[in-house]
């Protein structure tokens, strides 16, 4: 049973637009929610992460919004650039750390000029 559901599978956004990727989880024990960015031929790399004690975290153009009651979190990429074109994975883990991550299926983002 998939524990982290990610949508959409693919996303096309124009340069300068806002990219939004959503994830929903089922396990209420999850308490760490990272987003990973993966370029073709590379391994996933941590982009930004949030813990449920805050509802939003912003780092540059990237923002995570977290809704604990709905068990949902999302990634917003403001002023999307062609260089942001990659596959994005949400993930979740329980316990105090980031080990044993459960990943979403990924969203392939294409930012067109």
Partner 1 sequence: DAGVIQSPRHEVTEMGQEVTLRCKPISGHDYLFWYRQTMMRGLELLIYFNNNVPIDDSGMPEDRFSAKMPNASFSTLKIQPSEPRDSAVYFCASLREWSTDTQYFGPGTRLTVL
Among 12, 26, 42, 58, binds partner 1 (CB under 8 A): 42
* Min CB(101)–partner 1 separation in Å: 7
Residue carrying the six token digits 């403001």: 78
Count how many Cα atoms sit within 13 Å of the Cα of residue 18 in the half-sphere of its side chain: 7
Q: How far apart are CA 7 and CA 108, in angstroms?
A: 10
Q: CA angle 32-26-93, nearest 5°?
A: 25
| Piece in contact with partner 1 (CB under 8 A), picked from 15-23, 38-46, 52-60, 61-69 | 38-46
Site for partner 1 in 46-85 (CB under 8 A): 46, 49
Interface contacts to partner 1, rule CB under 8 A: 34, 36, 41-46, 49, 89, 95-106
């Amino acid at each position: 049973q998939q524990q982290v559901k990610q949508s959409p599978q693919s996303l096309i956004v124009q340069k300068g637009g806002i990219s939004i990727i959503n994830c929903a989880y089922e396990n209420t024990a999850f308490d760490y929610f990272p987003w990973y960015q993966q370029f073709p031929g590379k391994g996933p790399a941590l982009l930004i992460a949030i813990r449920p004690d805050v509802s939003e975290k912003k780092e540059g153009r990237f923002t995570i919004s977290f809704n604990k009651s709905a068990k949902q979190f999302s990634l917003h990429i403001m002023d999307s650039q062609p260089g942001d074109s990659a596959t994005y994975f949400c993930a979740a883990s329980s316990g105090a750390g980031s080990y044993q991550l459960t990943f979403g299926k990924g969203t392939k983002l294409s930012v067109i000029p």
